[in-house]
Structure 1
């Protein structure tokens, strides 16, 4: 393209905004207050993230808690484990309907989701196989938008119709992701094309493992851990980037397919859904450069090099550490770490798991040494999720799509809430800081 550099210089020069102007006009960058708390822009009954207490204007760290419709996610996980069943379907029911199902309701709901996993006739062939993508999130977004054309009533905004659409999409996400991955492997990686029909009687975790493995085989522990990951990623309040995006576009009265695709596109971003991939890359880099993984001094020194921007990707970030809401602990990381320890034994990766644990323990000390900060810093869920998926034999390109398979439940619940209780289009303000200019006639402009 001719004059690309010239055009780019105009864009970067004319789009630059002095950082001081944000302070001058008291702009809440990232919709965050000066103390790091989120700007209150809405109300929700779907999920709550509790990471600190505000006491006389001071943020007091506390152990993190995550609530789905007022119920502690730790209790949901514990109950499913105690009863020897998968818990994600129960979580979907709770998020969508606001109450816990009894056994009959849960069985019927799980059967309904299982029956809806199949895609419309010829959809896989025409919309996925004939237009594959190297990126599964890209293909998931395009597939969800395309499903609009298979819906006889796509624009109907009634709660009844939107609920139908949401449940169908929740059920179909694992199938779309699996088929998109298989198409990618075939058309871009030159591997055999293997497509399985989704088993209607299986849980979401079992379904995904069955669809992405040529032999459809998996252990009970593998399915249980994937189910746990799905539970923990299903919802995280209305203010996370992808869920807020769903609220935003839903408030404009767009259709369900467009609204949930907005969530997918937000989650695709490396700052949101792709963080666990960064963690895996960082740990692999540490493994290459640290000779003794159990040596506290060697690991701490390399973490310090990462913070200085002298190692790994030179970003100065230790990925998987810290969270904008949680302070002392992220309950999702705590639960996933426990299961990761068990799986590491089965997969003979205990030494690697201990390296993760050592990084987790050392990071606050290294941060304090680096910048003198003694503030609380916790490991977040991204730190262990990628490691767990790797032990399950799940390829890196499916890490973020698995997040989407889970989080679509939260997106759907928030879309329903926006339709029922919203009523006003979300329209925050932007201050224009461009000075006024006179129009210059074409013949008088400088060359």
Structure 2
């Protein structure tokens, strides 16, 4: 019998208890307004509740003009440098950019050639997993969710560290660099175990190569023949750069600060961040975008018919189509309104890969939905601000064109964001702040204790 199978009496009891738990957990929405609680730490005007300071990343989407907030095209800034300039720099040099970006986020400055080579050599050295780790930790307990495998693997690495609880800067940095270097192997091996044991596919375990970039290693380890084109590797590298950091306010980076502030070990802090990113409201949106487009493609015969696209998007918004959530996935963002700079950058290179893959028509469909969806949403008056495509709108299409399985979409996000998490953990430790403990107001009425024999 399956460990989690329940008999009828257990199911009945759990059903009753779950209803009780839900009722006891419900708080009237009007109380949030009464006590001016910013749910999700967001204001209605989108500015957000200030909970900390950071020098790592900045998300810029508006200016203040005579006391009023005015939306502007979005900017993403790493350590004071605009992401557009970072991308332009390594693309013009025909280099991979993720390792350079990692150095910048971790150490605050761009590396020179010598520092870059030394940093890449150190990451290559740290790529190796402990002996038999893949067999004993990953392959022996394959999960159907690769993020679960990733979190479990990170926690397991604690046991292989001779000094796991040392939170000195040097030790934490070493732990973070090891995790950045081995995340691709942990994620890809987790997928290969899933594919083999749950999908009945052949098992491929390719070792990472020291002469390859992180983006190249992901493709080489993921594919049976380890082959990839230059454009494929460059576009995956670009996606990693764009996802590496997004300010301290995104959920998983905030989790990293919160957990780090307790004084816990690196492995526990990063595992907590992985748990945050696993949530579909944070890391899984690009999967929903791909699924939504598969639905659109099956329902609309003529992809050039903008009227038909508009009608179907209206149905989605009205909860009459796709998953009936009322959401047009990949459109809108908690901070960006006029534009998401990551989506703007990615779109140009997506068009190049679509040409290489012979998927120009599908790319045109994406661009039409990107144009029409904000108009449909604004007419429905369901949003209080202008909306635009976010990075998830195109990243899922990129991964699909790279033949990356959907189960790996969020793990690739984690492979990238581990850099940002590491930088935020280091920043929290460097500032030796207090434990992060926000206030919650109790709104339950006072009651007296009732003896057992007097309860009805």
With normalisation by structure 1, the TM-score equals 0.98
Secondary structure, counterpart of 2:164 in structure 1: coil
**Structure 2 stretches lacking a partner, 5+ long:** 1-9
Q: Do the aligned residues in 1 keep the contact of 2:216 with 2:233 (CA within 8 Å)?
A: yes
Q: Do the aligned residues in 2 keep the contact of 1:251 with 1:418 (CA within 8 Å)?
A: yes
- Give the number of aligned pairs: 446
Residue 162 of structure 1 is matched in structure 2 by: 172
Structure 2 Cα separation of the partners of residues 205 and 13 of structure 1: 47
For residues 296-334 of structure 1, the C-alpha deviation after alignment (integer angstroms, 9 at most, x for no partner) is 100001001111111111111111001111121111001
Whether 1:268 and 2:270 are equivalent positions in the alignment is no
Whether 1:283 and 2:293 are equivalent positions in the alignment is yes
Whether 1:444 and 2:454 are equivalent positions in the alignment is yes
The Cα shift of 1:371 comes to: 2.3
Structure 2 Cα separation of the partners of residues 173 and 368 of structure 1: 40
Structure 2 Cα separation of the partners of residues 438 and 233 of structure 1: 52
The Cα shift of 1:364 comes to: 1.8
The equivalences for 1:410-425 within 5 A come to: 410-425=420-435
Residue 348 of structure 1 is matched in structure 2 by: 358
Residue 208 of structure 1 is matched in structure 2 by: 218
Q: Do the aligned residues in 1 keep the contact of 2:126 with 2:181 (CA within 8 Å)?
A: yes
Secondary structure, counterpart of 1:62 in structure 2: strand
Structure 1 Cα separation of the partners of residues 191 and 383 of structure 2: 43
Change (3 A) 1:422 1:362: farther
Residue 336 of structure 2 is matched in structure 1 by: 326
Q: Do the aligned residues in 1 keep the contact of 2:317 with 2:326 (CA within 8 Å)?
A: yes
Whether 1:248 and 2:248 are equivalent positions in the alignment is no
For residues 170-201 of structure 1, the C-alpha deviation after alignment (integer angstroms, 9 at most, x for no partner) is 00000101111111111111111111111011
- 2:232 counterpart (217, 222, 232): 222
The Cα shift of 1:137 comes to: 0.3
Answer with 182-191 or 387-396: which moved more.
182-191
Whether 1:11 and 2:21 are equivalent positions in the alignment is yes
The equivalences for 1:1-400 within 5 A come to: 1=10, 2-371=12-381, 375-400=385-410
The Cα shift of 1:273 comes to: 0.3
Structure 2 Cα separation of the partners of residues 79 and 372 of structure 1: 40
RMSD: 1.1
Secondary structure, counterpart of 1:429 in structure 2: coil
Secondary structure, counterpart of 2:192 in structure 1: helix
Secondary structure, counterpart of 1:3 in structure 2: helix
Secondary structure, counterpart of 2:338 in structure 1: coil
The Cα shift of 1:34 comes to: 3.2
The Cα shift of 1:372 comes to: 8.2
Secondary structure, counterpart of 2:74 in structure 1: strand
The Cα shift of 1:366 comes to: 1.0
The equivalences for 1:401-416 within 5 A come to: 401-416=411-426
- 1:433 counterpart (440, 443, 454): 443
Secondary structure, counterpart of 2:426 in structure 1: helix
Secondary structure, counterpart of 1:237 in structure 2: coil
The Cα shift of 1:96 comes to: 0.5
Q: Do the aligned residues in 1 keep the contact of 2:378 with 2:386 (CA within 8 Å)?
A: no
Change (3 A) 1:432 1:231: same
Q: Do the aligned residues in 2 keep the contact of 1:111 with 1:201 (CA within 8 Å)?
A: no
Secondary structure, counterpart of 2:246 in structure 1: coil
Secondary structure, counterpart of 1:262 in structure 2: helix
Secondary structure, counterpart of 1:265 in structure 2: helix
The Cα shift of 1:5 comes to: 2.5
Structure 1 Cα separation of the partners of residues 196 and 382 of structure 2: 51
Structure 2 Cα separation of the partners of residues 445 and 126 of structure 1: 52
Q: Do the aligned residues in 2 keep the contact of 1:245 with 1:263 (CA within 8 Å)?
A: yes
With normalisation by structure 2, the TM-score equals 0.96
Structure 2 Cα separation of the partners of residues 368 and 245 of structure 1: 33
Secondary structure, counterpart of 1:326 in structure 2: coil
Structure 2 Cα separation of the partners of residues 424 and 264 of structure 1: 23
Q: Do the aligned residues in 2 keep the contact of 1:323 with 1:380 (CA within 8 Å)?
A: yes
For residues 61-109 of structure 1, the C-alpha deviation after alignment (integer angstroms, 9 at most, x for no partner) is 1111111100111111111111111000000000000011001110111
The Cα shift of 1:55 comes to: 2.5
